[in-house]
Amino acid sequence: MCRLLAIAGTDLSGQSDTVRRFGNLAATGKVAPGSNPGHMDGWGLVAYRDGRLVYQQKEADQADHNPVYTTASAAALGERPTVVIGHLRKTNEKPNRENSHPFTQEGLSFCHNGAIFEPERLPLDAVALKQREGTTDSERFFLYLLQRLRTGLSPDPVTALRDAFYFIRDNLGYSALNIVLSDGSTTWVCGR
């Protein structure tokens, strides 16, 4: 299971310790019994200021004691953001940058903690399939949300999340559907 971070406010300049400690969870974050310790399979940070994406970085290595993560967290907070979102990845696959979260497209950023079983059964149209960069169930979930918004099947992000949760619940299996979604003005955090 991955680790998620979402911070929102008018002044996040004092949050450097929070973002640093979040990175430490790459080594110390709790995992399921029998799993290898930590969340060392990738990380990502995005920052928004007043609804505009001002920083994004994703990497395929661990965040803990990583000078690249330290520099990225300082750079993100240096943008004087009103929203910061972070993700630490735990996977059984080979880590790669394309599968690191948050995913950002069409003005939205998304990260997910959990697994969707048979994610290929999430119906994606040709536009969504062209947007795909990685191979994760999480990115497919995000593209399904974007598709619902783009095609008008869901009129807003809250409805798209609800509809996607119901589709996954009724048609697929999952271990958890914990997500952070933001357009930089509003941040939605949901858990199932």
pLDDT at position 93, please? 83
Residue boundaries of the structural domains of the chain = 3-190
Q: What average pLDDT does range 22-43 have in this prediction? A: 86
Stated pTM of the model: 0.94
Q: Please tell me which residue, 32 or 3, carries the higher pLDDT value.
A: 3
Question: Residue 20 above 90 pLDDT?
Answer: yes
Q: What is the DSSP string of 97-116?
A: GGGSSPEEETTEEEEEES-E
> Minimal CA–CA distance to 179: which of 144, 150, 130, 133?
144
Q: What average pLDDT does range 76-92 have in this prediction? A: 94
Tens of pLDDT, residues 137-189: 999 999 999 999 999 999 999 999 999 999 999 999 999 999 999 999 999 99
Which class in CATH covers the domain with range 3-190?
alpha beta
